[in-house]
Amino acid sequence: MILDQFKLNGKVAIVTGAARGIGQSYAIALAEAGADIALVDVIPMDETAAQVTALGRRVCVLTADLSKGDEIAPGLIAEVVKQLGGVDILVNNAGIIRREPFVDHSAKNWNDVLGINLSTPFFLSQAAAKQMIAQGRGGKIINIASMLSFQGGILVPGYAASKGGIKSLTMLMANELAQHKICTNAIAPGYIATENTRPIRENPVRNQAILDRIPAGRWGQPEDLMSAVVFLASPASDYMNGHVLVVDGGWLSR
């Protein structure tokens, strides 16, 4: 049955930035599909952990400063293996955004955003891929791109650069890891109602301009991304590699 291809029973998934918003929805979706979940964030994850546990899945909670990706990645993956027995799925969801005009964009903002949004996914993916190769059963790595992987945007030079980099890194990883039966793809969310987008939604003029361009006529919700992450994490997407799956209500088609 085709629906069996979407089941994740017996799999272990890591989701970064899992305390709230999109990351929380990814974690719950993967748990609903059958996976045990490792939650990673720098803020409390009690709510997400409780929802995963309520689904009858095992959960481990790892508090980590993801700005130090190169330092923490190997140990983080090792701890997941210790607690849950392996790693089959990695969702590099954690990310930050700093809004500042290009000519004023500070070195700190640039380095902070590139560090968490691009460098940390690289180091976590590297450590997770080594574990997946050692396990010998393949795996799925899902990066989080953006509409700004395709567009320039305004006032977010570090974010735009990081998400363009994620798109290219996803394709490179697909090229190198496919021989190990590891599929690497990305999700590019559109305008989703989260804490990161609150300043835009609270600006009446900017908010309306965005709504006017989205064919769906509304902001996306974190729940709108749940099916995408399950698909890319499951055997149903085994012949997809290096792809960026856009979930944007039609924004890029406008």
d(CA 70, CA 131): 16
d(CA 17, CA 158): 19
User: Which of 26, 159, 191, 239 is flagged as catalytic?
Assistant: 159
Sheet holding 139-144: strands in order across? Answer: 59-63, 36-41, 12-16, 89-92, 139-144, 182-189, 244-247
Q: 212 burial class (0-12, 13-18, 19+ CB within 10 angstroms)? A: exposed
> How many residues appear in the chain?
254
- In the residue annotation, 159 being an active-site residue is answered as yes
Q: Which residues contact 89 (CB under 8 A, 6 or more apart)?
A: 8, 11, 12, 13, 14, 30, 35, 139, 140, 141, 142, 233
d(CA 148, CA 128): 26
The encoded tokens of residue 220 equal 């996306």
Q: Which of 45, 124, 46 is nearest to 89 (CA)?
A: 124
Helices 46-54 + 21-32 axis angle, to 10 = 20
Active site residues: 159
